[in-house]
Amino acid sequence: MMLRIFHLIGLLVGIFLVNLPVFGCIEIYVTVKPNKMKCIKERINKDTLVVGKFKTENKNTPVSIFIYDIDVNERNFNPQKRQAIFETLNEHDIKTAFTTFYSTSYSFCAYNKTRKIMDVYFEIKHGTEARDYAQIAKSEHLNEATMYLKQIIDQMNNFHINLKRIKASEENEKKSSDKLNDTLMWFSLINILIIIFAAIIQDFYFKRFFTSKKII
């Protein structure tokens, strides 16, 4: 009886989990021109697990992969002038995993050193999407329902962190906007005072000029 209940809970939780929006997962093919770099950029929170997989069509089309903790401008970026948090040169099938140190935009870049156009497969997962819950369930001896519940809790925590980041960003933008409004207000006030002062001076000199000419 208890086993059936657990299976029912697992089924309901699984349905709920499937209907949740998926965050933290990118799977895409990127076309990279000869001797060019192409980057995929993703905003990732601090202390987040990131798993990346990159693959070309075959071993005869190797690619170099660079990962940076900045927003890379592909047109004028020089890889030799910036230290990558991960790099590998001229490989066909690449896998990596790391934990972020900062909440920032991360750039996952593929560099094509060959003379032919190539398609590179990008699979980038972070947060709950990067965790292997099947392995976690096996190591912690969790049943299916408990594993799904753990996954939902992790997703909710991640969602809460994202909300806090968005709220903090909005507050910073509001402070910047308020500061800009105050600056514009004082600038306008100073301009008005300068115009009034200039008008008074101009009126004074006009009166002296006309008086000296005995016009008035």
Q: How far apart are CA 138 and CA 135, in angstroms?
A: 5
Which residue in this structure is represented by tokens 């992790």? 154
Instruction: State residue 99's pLDDT score.
Output: 93
What is the side-by-side strand order in the sheet with 86-91? 36-44, 104-112, 63-68, 86-91
Instruction: State residue 21's pLDDT score.
Output: 47
Q: How far apart are CA 66 and CA 46, in angstroms?
A: 19
Q: How far apart are CA 76 and CA 199, in angstroms?
A: 51
Instruction: State residue 93's pLDDT score.
Output: 94
Render each residue's pLDDT in the chain as its tens digit; 216 residues: 444 444 444 444 444 444 444 457 899 999 999 999 999 999 998 889 999 999 998 888 999 999 999 988 888 777 667 889 999 999 999 999 999 998 899 999 999 999 999 999 999 999 888 887 777 778 787 787 777 777 777 777 777 777 777 787 788 888 888 888 888 888 888 888 888 888 888 877 777 766 776 665
Angle, nearest 10°, between helix axes 144-212 and 133-140? 130
Which residue in this structure is represented by tokens 């962190």? 161
Counting Cα atoms < 13 Å in the Cβ hemisphere of 55 gives 9
In angstroms, the Cα distances linking 157 to 11, 101, 131, 153, 162 are 22, 18, 14, 6, 9
pLDDT digits (tens, 9 = 90+) for 103-147: 899 999 999 999 999 999 999 999 888 887 777 778 787 787 777
Instruction: State residue 18's pLDDT score.
Output: 44
Whole-prediction pTM: 0.62
Q: How far apart are CA 111 and CA 8, in angstroms?
A: 49
Q: Delineate the domains of the chain, giving CATH numbers in brackets.
A: 2-164 (2.60.120.380)
Q: How far apart are CA 8 and CA 98, in angstroms?
A: 36
